[in-house]
Amino acid sequence: MGNLSMSNIRKRKLDIEFYTISRTGETVRAGDSVLIESSEPHTRPSVGVIKKLESEKEGNITVDVRWYHRPEETSFGRRVFQGARELFLSDQYETLSANRIMRKCFVHSLKDYNKLEKIRPLVYYSRFKYKVGTNKFTPDCVSVYCKCEMPYNPDNLMIQCDDCNDWFHPGCVKMTTEQAEQLSNYICDECSS
């Protein structure tokens, strides 16, 4: 009996084009974002993007995923400017059984997320990449808005000054959300003085 080399072991796996999730009947491919069942009980599913699907000689299907992290899963925790559907694309990869895929989901850039007319369940956005080992984010800074100088959070209403085009949170300019929603135009204090 001869020795198995790494190339022989590797040949036992075949790349496959798609996988059908038995729970939902959805078909997923490399590049799709998916919810992955947690290996720990009573824990919400994780989100990952499929990098590769492979079939083992025994018929088992494996999936290589790159993980997304929720803000509270980082050492910094969730911050005020981070939306409820915000995820960070991490530098962590894992190979696991494809039967842990629960269903397809969608992760957009913040720009594309803001263009959506309706935010449906299982829709997320990502504007940062996250290096787990160093706790570093890319980009390491983003634009800030309003008097409070906070990054944009798509969950919070903002109004734009018609003169300077700056954006403001209604509460920061002594206005209720209801009042802001009624506005047809707005001029900030700095531009009106």
Torsion angle of the four alpha carbons 92, 140, 123, 74, in this order, in degrees rounded to the nearest 10 = 50
List the CATH code of the domain at 6-142.
2.30.30.490
Give the model confidence (pLDDT) of 16-64 as tens digits: 899 999 889 999 999 999 999 988 888 899 999 999 999 987 778 999 9
Task: Give yes or no for a contact between 19 and 31, defined as CB atoms under 8 angstroms apart.
Answer: no
Instruction: For residue 153, count CB atoms less than 10 angstroms from its CB and return exposed for 0-12, middle for 13-18, buried for 19 or more.
Output: middle
pLDDT digits (tens, 9 = 90+) for 78-132: 888 899 999 999 999 999 999 999 999 999 999 999 999 999 999 999 999 999 9
pLDDT of 59 reads 78
Report the chain's C-alpha Rg in angstroms.
22
Residue 10 has a pLDDT of 52
Three-state DSSP class for residue 149: coil
% of the chain exceeding 70 in pLDDT: 94
Q: What is the pLDDT of residue 1?
A: 42
**Any idea where the domains of the chain sit in the sequence?**
6-142, 157-193
The CATH architecture of the domain made up of 157-193 is 2-Layer Sandwich (3.30)
Which residue has better confidence, 14 or 47? 47
Bond preceding residue 139 cis, omega within 30 of 0: yes
- Mean pLDDT for 175-184 is 92
What is residue 2's predicted lDDT score, i.e. its pLDDT? Answer: 46
